[in-house]
Homo-oligomer: A and B are copies of this chain.
């Protein structure tokens, strides 16, 4: 059963497996950081803000997170309500809202980084760097193929001649 080649295994659950692993990994991290008041989209946003640097715009953050603006808007509101970030309208470009950590947010970030690295160690346990790299590259290929797939279909879908 479990010795089937990958493409056979996935015959019935192509996307399913990815989705399932995604959900369960998300849950693992979420459980670890829940006591701090963070859900997955919130902690992910925190880490990316940290990475981009304070003062980044929501647009930059959405690109970094690879999600759409409306998805981000919701998370930003929550983080603001929880008093971990604040958004200040840019003086130069009044459309932009730049993101900063509050003092409380800084402290939370430090906690987050610790907990996340702990969970990450658990998740990656028994997986060599080679395996991790293999997954990463295969995922990138899959993503690109799927992207092309979508593009082709949407082109041919409307202008079919």
Mark A residues whose CB is within 8 Å of B: 2, 5-7, 9-22, 24-29, 31-32, 40, 44, 47-48, 51, 64-66, 116, 119-120, 122-127, 129, 131-143, 145-150, 153-154, 157
Q: Are A149 and B12 in contact (CB under 8 A)?
A: no
Whether B132 and A6, one on each chain, are in contact in the complex, defined by CB atoms closer than 8 angstroms, is yes
Binding site secondary structure of chain A: helix
CA separation between A141 and B127, bound complex, in Å? Answer: 7
Asked whether, in the complex, the Cβ of A133 is within 8 Å of the Cβ of B21, the reply is: no
Q: Are B44 and A13 in contact (CB under 8 A)?
A: yes
* Smallest beta-carbon distance A22→chain B, Å: 4
State whether A51 and B16 are in contact (beta carbons under 8 Å apart), knowing that A22-B22, A132-B5 are contacts in the complex.
no
Residues A133 and B19 in contact in the complex (CB < 8 Å), given A28-B146, A32-B153:
no
How distant is the Cα of A146 from the Cα of B32 in the complex, in angstroms? 11
Task: Report whether B146 and A25 are in contact in the complex, using a CB–CB cutoff of 8 Å.
Answer: yes
Docked complex Cα distance between A7 and B127 (Å)? 10
Contact between chains at B147 and A126 (CB < 8 Å): no
* A134–B129 CA distance with the chains assembled, in angstroms: 13
Residue of B nearest to A127 (CB): B141
Q: Which of A44, A51, A120, A136 has the most CB of B within 10 A?
A: A136
Looking at the assembled complex, report how far the CB atom of A25 sits from the nearest CB atom of chain B, in whole angstroms: 5
Task: Output the least CB separation between A60 and chain B (Å).
Answer: 13
Contact of A18 among B9, B32, B122, B139 (CB under 8 A): B139
Does B129 lie within 8 Å of A6, measured CB to CB? yes
Out of B6, B135, B141, name the residue touching A126 (CB < 8 Å): B141
